[in-house]
Amino acid sequence: MQWIGSAKGLGNVPTPEINTASAASDERRSPANGNRKRPRVRRGKLWFRIHSLVGLNLSLLIGLICLTGTLAVFASEVDWLMTPSIRAAQPVALDDTNWQAIAASLAEHAPDDAIDTIETGPSSAFAPAAYTGMPDGGRRVIRFDPATGVVQGEHSTLGFKSLLRAIHSHLLIGGPGLTIVTLTAFFLLASLVTALFAYRRWWRGFFRWPQRHRGARVFWGDFHRLAGLWSLVFGFVVALTGIWYFAEQNGVRAPAPDRPALSAAKVGNVEAAAYFPKALAAAHAAYPDLAIRRIDWPGRAGEVFAFYGQEGTVLVRPRANAAAVDVRSGDIAFTHSGSDAGVHRRISEAADPLHMGYFAGFWSKLLWFLSGALLTIVAVSGAIVYAKRLAGEGDGHVRLRNLAITLALPLMTIGAMVALLPGTIAALG
């Protein structure tokens, strides 16, 4: 995150309030007074230089990641608008989803598919979905009427949501892309922290409207600071959760809940569907507070049905709460609750709800969308400020060199994404 370009060459632009030593003290230390020590860089200017180096040189890359993350907040809703089969034919409350009818229809419709998961959508307007692998190697999503369980359509796994997530999390370039994305969280955090140290009394700027009459450079600098202040808390949230993703990627994963060894024996879809009503009843009896949102089919979960959902514990993913039932016997294989997790696992479970903003339904998603849009504007306005600064520094060769250094990483990343886009679309489809 970046708030303003360097003050060098700003002319009439007001100098930001920074932490400085007294003028008299600086004068006593100057070479003119016989002091041979090099003049000390004032602390406020040092923080400002770090802020410019860390933030402004990466504005375009950070802006791209912020933009795709912002759009991903409502990506499911965009898919809902674009694909008719995603819309529930007869919307019912999520807790009233007819899982038993859906399981029977699924086995009948796709008896030879490798079924992974059945899950509800973000709201009752979405038709429940089953994700399966077809015998020919392709993948599909089957949609059901939540009230009757009747198959109401199917579509490929390629959609607005899947494509946006591939860009936002991996930049379409796989493992190296994930590393780049999670590393930007460190730069974002550094930009936030250095901005707070560089500008004294920053809390007074929440209602300072940008000055349009002072020229474009002043306006964009003022706008950059204002947008940065209003997205400050959100910026810290996404930066810290992004750093957590980096830690998880590099070996600091939370321990999984204790589970017994499960048989991986193959269970046919028709046979599994016949056992499903008994398993569903057993899960409700063992975990009555569990509001089921996802079911892993036997094969993916071992020779069990695994039921996941919410039960009142805040800031956990549905997978944190589970009840697994042996397919044939109907016995409980294991249960676990997010409320029983240790500190390490609770932090891990909280990362997704906080980073993606779905912890309080539609309203938290709306807040995250608006905040993400503001953070994207901060990055773009930072790039504008920096570009205007470069335009006024040095001769043509110096300006060209600085611009090339600034654009190198974003352009290489975008070039790799464009080259790999067809393959990504083919894989998702």
Tens-of-pLDDT digits for all 429 residues of the chain? 444 443 333 344 344 444 443 444 444 444 444 454 555 556 667 887 777 777 667 788 888 899 999 999 999 999 999 999 999 999 999 999 999 999 999 999 999 999 999 999 999 999 999 999 999 989 999 999 999 999 999 999 999 999 999 899 988 887 888 998 999 999 999 989 988 887 777 888 888 888 877 777 778 788 888 888 999 999 999 999 999 999 998 888 888 887 777 766 678 999 999 999 999 999 999 999 999 999 999 976 678 999 999 998 999 998 999 999 999 889 999 999 999 888 999 999 999 999 999 999 999 999 999 999 999 999 888 777 776 766 666 556 666 666 666 666 667 767 766 676 776 666 666
- Give per-residue pLDDT as tens, 1-53: 444 443 333 344 344 444 443 444 444 444 444 454 555 556 667 887 777 77
Does 219 share its domain with 365? Answer: yes
Domain's final residue, options 158, 189, 209: 158
Distance between CA atoms of residues 164 and 185, nearest Å: 18
Distance between CA atoms of residues 85 and 117, nearest Å: 18
What pLDDT, on a 0 to 100 scale, did the predictor assign at position 398?
Answer: 62
* Lookup result for tokens 């409700």: 284
Does 236 share its domain with 96? Answer: no
Q: Give the global pTM.
A: 0.81
Does 186 share its domain with 212? Answer: yes
Does 236 share its domain with 364? Answer: yes
Does 185 share its domain with 237? Answer: yes
- Give per-residue pLDDT as tens, 297-352: 997 667 899 999 999 899 999 899 999 999 988 999 999 999 988 899 999 999 99
**For the chain, percent of residues with pLDDT exceeding 90:** 51
Distance between CA atoms of residues 135 and 298, nearest Å: 17
What pLDDT, on a 0 to 100 scale, did the predictor assign at position 184?
Answer: 92
Distance between CA atoms of residues 307 and 322, nearest Å: 5
What pLDDT, on a 0 to 100 scale, did the predictor assign at position 257?
Answer: 80
Does 106 share its domain with 188? Answer: no
* Lookup result for tokens 């807790």: 95
Domain's final residue, options 109, 130, 158: 158
Distance between CA atoms of residues 246 and 181, nearest Å: 9
**Residue 303, in any domain of the structure:** no
Q: How many domains does the chain have?
A: 2
**Residue 377, in any domain of the structure:** yes
Cα dist. 167→145, 212, 320, 347, 376 in Å? Answer: 31, 36, 26, 25, 15
Cα dist. 85→142, 170, 292, 294 in Å? Answer: 9, 28, 22, 19
Domain containing residue 124: 89-158
**Residue 309, in any domain of the structure:** no
**Residue 389, in any domain of the structure:** yes
Does 116 share its domain with 151? Answer: yes
Does 64 share its domain with 173? Answer: yes
Does 69 share its domain with 203? Answer: yes
CATH code for the domain of 114? 3.30.505
**Residue 320, in any domain of the structure:** no
Does 132 share its domain with 186? Answer: no
Does 137 share its domain with 60? Answer: no
CB 90 within 8 A of CB 144: no
Domain's final residue, options 110, 128, 158: 158
Does 154 share its domain with 168? Answer: no
Q: Which residues contact 388 (CB under 8 A, 6 or more apart)?
A: 5, 216, 217, 220
